[in-house]
Amino acid sequence: MKNDKYYTYTSPFGNIIIVSNGNAITNITLESKINPQCKKEADVLTDKAAGQLEEYFAGKRREFDLPLDPCGSDFQRKVWQALENIPYGQTKSYKQIAQIIDNPKACRAVGLANNKNPIWIMIPCHRVIGSDGKLVGYGGGLAMKQRLLEIELKM
């Protein structure tokens, strides 16, 4: 973490922090959640991530092409990998994600893993909804989740 660098990207949702360890993006979060040990300095990966986020918000990018290295448990990583496979503009329920990872009774654990997703937007936890089709839980708030889904539905 001491060698991690971060860049502040001004998005339509406010400032977003993009963190790189020099080999991969490790974190994308709201500005208030930055680790104080990170060095405020852009690198090639943070710049590329900012450019891809810009294209995404403009409705010009459907997939991100960056190395990602989220820190989490094996279970969390399995959930996050399943999230990355949700197609652009589509949603899955927590129950469906639990079934995808072969743990159909782990709906709540899937929700907790979703909540701990350190690279939101690029690992699209905003595409996970309640079984009844309603928007539930999102670290950036439900209004942000709704807007992200709307961006994807416009393309």
Residue 71 annotated as catalytic: no
**Are the beta carbons of 119 and 26 closer than 8 angstroms?**
yes
Q: Give the Å distances, CA to CA, from 117 to 59, 79, 87, 103, 138.
A: 23, 9, 18, 19, 10
**Of 105, 99, 71, whose CA–CA distance to 85 is shortest?**
99
Owner of token pair 């991969």: 24
Among the listed residues 38, 71, 107, 125, the single catalytic one is: 125
Residues known to be catalytic: 125
